[in-house]
Structure 1
Amino acid sequence: MGIKKKILFLIHDLGQGGAEKVLVNLVNNMDDTKFDITVMTLFDVGINRQFLSKRIRYRSIFSRVFKGNSHVMKLFSPKMLHRLFIKEHYDIEVAYLEGPCARIISGCHDMDTKLVSWVHIEQSTSERAAASFRNIEEAQKCYNRFHQIVCVSAAVKNDFTSVLSISAPVCVLYNTNETQKIVCTSKESVDDVLFLENEIKLVGVGKLLSSKGFDRILRITKRLREEGFPVHTYILGIGPEEQNLKKYVTLNGLDKYVDLLGYQTNPYKYVAKCDLFVCASFAEGFSTATTEALIVGVPVCTVNVSGMNEMLGCQNEYGIVTDNDEGALYQGILHMIGDSEVLAYYKKKAIERGKFFNMKTTVNAVEEMLWKL
């Protein structure tokens, strides 16, 4: 093979979030005869670092997260930050998250280096898109220095181009999921949780943040139990909302019907044993957890956040997408669990749609984009 392209991926950290997970999936499966890959984190923390392949070079800027870091970084220009943090020459530098990563990479002034920015979530307003920059003008100037901006869904692309004035080319590339590994590990046995045949098993996966809406799932669980539906809810993830969720479960007598399972290195074996995957988030980019549920053949009921109509079809073809409010989500779940034929239909559609997110296809699309820069 000819000369490899030397690529840097910069990300905030390798924590349990979706972007962090799909970056590890992507770099681990890229062709190492074509690409020499370095992953750099701003902060040397995160549960996903253990899954990074040994052939990927790993670097970190700070050993741990410090308070007010994004304000401190604003004291320095993007050019100065780049000079301080990025010591080597790369053919391509990728800011794999919005905000500080994009600001740092935009400071590269090497004419031989191509710059790529990945956008994972809807910004909604120009103020939010510019939150990690000194102002909106600086945000637009930085993003317009990139040779390619990649959005994880059409909805994210439409949002991003509407809130900032961008002249740089913008494309859509879907996240990478290790489909074969997910299917294989989903078949492993579960020894620490009892799944009862006579219960309707709901599951949610993600970092326990208020933005993920797990409290909505708990309130819906309570309502369904009160109405006589034998639902049992499983939530996988850790985060700042954990104690609030546990408190709600205890105060509302749901201890027998809700399991908070924490972070699991293999969430798929739990998800695969459930009847319905629920996403109650207030915002998403292109939900990794929802994609993974489809890959293991579990029906999906979700509120309408970015990417869901692309994933499930605008006419609820592959799953149910409701308005983004608790009442609508409750009605959607009720429609699916209240009729065994509806649930069986969407199980078939989940299996069908899961095949669309083939790992090889998504990795090839990224490699082709990078190679053409």
Structure 2
Amino acid sequence: MKKVLFFIPNLMHGGAEKVLVNLVNNLDRNKYDIIVQTIFDEGVNKKYLKKDIKYKYIFKKIFRGSTTLFKLCSPKFLYKYLIKEKYDIAVSYLEGPTARIISGCPYEDSKKISWIHIELNDEKLLSTGFRSFKEAKKGYESYDKIICVSNTVKQIFEDVSGIKENVEVLYNTNETEDIIEKSKEKVEDIEFDKNTINICSVGKVIEKKGYYRLAQIHKKLIDEGLKHNIYIIGIGEDEYRIKKYLKENNLEDTYHLIGFRDNPYKYIDKCDLFVCSSYREGFSTAVTESLVVGTPVITTLCSGAQELLGYNNEYGLVVENNKEGIYKGIKKLLDDRELLDYYKEKAIERGSFFSKEKTVKAVEYMIDSL
């Protein structure tokens, strides 16, 4: 039985944290002794770990300056004093500090895997958590396997790092059956207007998710007489700015920031359209989940979008990553209910491609091949 460590900063409400929990919960316990370790013992996703998954942490709370502090010590020192144990396979499940720490694993017969979830578009981004680009490149070169969540993420990583060996793509694991079951639950805290189009999105309410520009697009469409509601499920530091804009423009009755929800799927299911307005994504968990639920999707052109929806909009609309692109895409679907119904059918068809069984088997095959 292989002893496998999955190392991540925390288990908060992000997409990577969620799909890690999905993955470890479904790996074969007869083949792997699984340990999840976090730097900080925080996050809503911790409670979803199955009871037979060993969990441990280094620090109880997140503290300021931790990233800088970690850079003061060498990767080998950090591994020795923070990870301590020897594993058959040590996985850094995010870029940044965990990638640097695992790169310092001193055991020659331990295999190391680094998971890349975002577009590391330049040397500065690729060096996040490391002292320099030179150190980052050396650190990533020490890994036996680098896993990227989409072909775009892989291509960008290879171009920026210059590393071409042992880099492959594996799609994120989603609890597909569980998602479908939860999507059928009743929504009791919101009364959706059945006489208009209801649009939703799920994600951290931070700048990169594009919810502020989505509010501006919403205003333009409302001003043109195209009635619709938008519901944003999530929390984050961009809430104040968006709420201020909504108040100033009398949009509080049609653009709703409803906060974090344990079960976002029942809201996605009751809406007519899911929108991903992000400036950047790795491989959107929320878009994948929407396809599984069977809700039509419109997304900006960012990493993974065309892999999810097709290179010719076969399974949903991929639009230019700017306000005009999002505006035109939403307007097109608000104006054409037949097209919206068509994409509902295509969403269901595409969702089956990302079944839990397929993605878990692919990861197990990769681990067994090391």
Determine which of 32, 48, 52 is the counterpart of 1:51.
Answer: 48
Provide the secondary structure at the position in 2 that maps to 1:355.
helix
Aligned residue runs from structure 1 range 149-168, under 5 A: 149-166=146-163, 168=165
Paired with 1:309 and 1:241, the residues of 2 have a C-alpha distance of 27
Determine which of 326, 345, 369 is the counterpart of 2:366.
Answer: 369
1:349 equivalenced with 2:349 (yes/no): no
Shift of the alpha carbon at 1:167?
A: 5.1
Shift of the alpha carbon at 1:165?
A: 2.2
| Counterpart AA for 1:274 | C
1:30 equivalenced with 2:27 (yes/no): yes
| Counterpart AA for 2:170 | L
> Runs in 1 of length 4+ with deviation above 4 angstroms?
none
1:105 equivalenced with 2:99 (yes/no): no
Root mean square deviation, CA, Å: 0.8
| Counterpart AA for 1:17 | G
1:18 equivalenced with 2:11 (yes/no): no
Paired with 2:229 and 2:214, the residues of 1 have a C-alpha distance of 11
| Residue number in structure 1 paired with 2:243 | 246
Q: Give the TM-score of the pair, scaled to structure 2.
A: 0.99
Shift of the alpha carbon at 1:224?
A: 1.3
Paired with 2:163 and 2:81, the residues of 1 have a C-alpha distance of 27
Determine which of 184, 189, 193 is the counterpart of 1:192.
Answer: 189
Paired with 1:216 and 1:142, the residues of 2 have a C-alpha distance of 37
Matched pairs, number: 370
> What do residues 147-179 of structure 1 show as CA deviations (whole Å, max 9, x unaligned)?
000000000000001001225410100000000
Paired with 1:254 and 1:239, the residues of 2 have a C-alpha distance of 20
Q: Can you give the 5+ residue segments of structure 1 that lack an aligned partner in the other structure?
A: none
Paired with 1:232 and 1:367, the residues of 2 have a C-alpha distance of 42
Paired with 1:208 and 1:127, the residues of 2 have a C-alpha distance of 24
1:148 equivalenced with 2:114 (yes/no): no
Q: Is the 1:152–1:174 Cα contact (8 Å) retained in structure 2?
A: yes
| Residue number in structure 2 paired with 1:258 | 255
| Counterpart AA for 1:134 | R
Shift of the alpha carbon at 1:196?
A: 1.3
Q: Is the 1:146–1:168 Cα contact (8 Å) retained in structure 2?
A: no
1:308 equivalenced with 2:326 (yes/no): no
| Counterpart AA for 2:207 | S
Provide the secondary structure at the position in 2 that maps to 1:356.
helix
Q: Is the 2:233–2:257 Cα contact (8 Å) retained in structure 1?
A: yes
Shift of the alpha carbon at 1:127?
A: 1.7
Provide the secondary structure at the position in 2 that maps to 1:191.
coil
Paired with 2:327 and 2:203, the residues of 1 have a C-alpha distance of 19
Paired with 1:166 and 1:54, the residues of 2 have a C-alpha distance of 38
Paired with 1:324 and 1:258, the residues of 2 have a C-alpha distance of 21
Determine which of 178, 182, 189 is the counterpart of 1:181.
Answer: 178
Shift of the alpha carbon at 1:318?
A: 0.6
The percentage of counterpart residues that share the same residue type is: 51
| Residue number in structure 1 paired with 2:278 | 281
Shift of the alpha carbon at 1:257?
A: 0.8
Paired with 2:362 and 2:289, the residues of 1 have a C-alpha distance of 19
Paired with 1:370 and 1:337, the residues of 2 have a C-alpha distance of 45
Q: Is the 2:97–2:128 Cα contact (8 Å) retained in structure 1?
A: no
Paired with 2:90 and 2:156, the residues of 1 have a C-alpha distance of 24
Paired with 1:108 and 1:87, the residues of 2 have a C-alpha distance of 9
| Counterpart AA for 1:53 | K
Paired with 2:299 and 2:97, the residues of 1 have a C-alpha distance of 30
Q: Is the 2:183–2:267 Cα contact (8 Å) retained in structure 1?
A: yes
| Counterpart AA for 2:6 | F
Provide the secondary structure at the position in 1 that maps to 2:353.
coil
1:321 equivalenced with 2:292 (yes/no): no
Paired with 2:256 and 2:322, the residues of 1 have a C-alpha distance of 23
Aligned residue runs from structure 1 range 224-239, under 5 A: 224-239=221-236
Shift of the alpha carbon at 1:128?
A: 1.3
| Counterpart AA for 1:31 | D
| Counterpart AA for 1:351 | I
Paired with 2:140 and 2:344, the residues of 1 have a C-alpha distance of 41
1:201 equivalenced with 2:198 (yes/no): yes
| Counterpart AA for 1:177 | N
> What do residues 328-360 of structure 1 show as CA deviations (whole Å, max 9, x unaligned)?
110011111211111111111111001111001
Greater Cα offset, 285-294 or 167-176: 167-176
Q: Is the 2:39–2:57 Cα contact (8 Å) retained in structure 1?
A: yes
| Counterpart AA for 2:74 | S
| Residue number in structure 2 paired with 1:71 | 68
Greater Cα offset, 238-247 or 193-202: 238-247
Q: Give the TM-score of the pair, scaled to structure 1.
A: 0.98
Paired with 2:327 and 2:46, the residues of 1 have a C-alpha distance of 37
Paired with 1:146 and 1:268, the residues of 2 have a C-alpha distance of 36
| Residue number in structure 1 paired with 2:117 | 120
| Residue number in structure 1 paired with 2:77 | 80
Provide the secondary structure at the position in 2 that maps to 1:277.
strand
| Counterpart AA for 1:265 | D
